[in-house]
Amino acid sequence: MEKIQLLPFITIEGIGAASGIVYLDNSLFIVSDNSNFLYQYRITEKSLEKIKLFENRPEISPKKDKADFEALTLFDNKLYLFGSGSSKIRNTRVTYNLENKEVKEKNLTRIYKRLADTISIAADELNIEGVISTEELTYFFQRGNGANAQNGVFCYDNKSKTVQFKLITLPKLKGVAATFTDAILVEDKIFFLAAAEDTLSTYDDGEILGSLIGRMNLQTMAVDFTEKISDTNKFEGLTLHKKTATQMEFLLCEDNDNEVMKTDIYLLKLETNFWF
């Protein structure tokens, strides 16, 4: 058996531009960067539920008006949806309580400004694509595909509100540096996705040049390994599906950068001796 395999898993009708995914109790929770809804797809029943996040907003927003949810993370039985921060309207965090189904909204403008100021970039250069939450720290994964090309991780201290930034250089795909598109914590290791896109804008899309997966040390932020997994897909969402002594399985979603309301979910299998 190959040490790494990328396979089709399911296709979900009714969701487009998928940008974040969480697998929980045989359901997929998915966010879309142009939608004002959180989606829950029950795999066994093949049913899709749409969870409204805002009053008086349509399901799909035009590009200039979208909240641009690019990160979805699970912590303490709550799902957190984060806007990318690349414009004022994209500075929102929404919390969905899985127990009581309550939806709460928070403006992150002050926090996002602190992140941007830490690395001296303009507000529209911020591009948060992944978030990992712990009791002490929140890790914001900055996709450094803007003009200043600062790809890395903000470590935000939840108590002191201080910020540290670790610059992360990733391999090039077809001559363009790959930059973060999502990250998750598995035990004490960070697994991340990155994609290469032929653009210097955090706002405008470019030609997709491929995607890779990698692993980082949570304490040092050192990259243990990276491996290209596609020449053509821009994978933007990553979640753990299954872990055994010999294999890890992840589910991935991709953003096709089009208006089609259909999402392909992929299964990525890694042999655990892959990185040894």
pLDDT at 267: 98
- pLDDT, one tens digit for every residue, the chain (276 residues): 578 999 999 999 999 999 999 999 999 999 999 999 999 999 999 999 999 999 999 999 998 999 999 999 999 999 999 999 999 999 999 999 999 999 999 999 999 999 999 999 998 899 999 999 999 999 999 999 877 769 999 999 999 999 999 999 999 999 999 999 999 999 999 999 999 987 655 445 568 899 999 999 999 999 999 999 999 999 999 999 999 999 999 999 998 766 789 999 999 999 987 665
- pLDDT tens-digit series, residues 69-78: 999 999 999 9
pLDDT at 202: 46
Other CB atoms within 10 A of residue 85 CB = 29
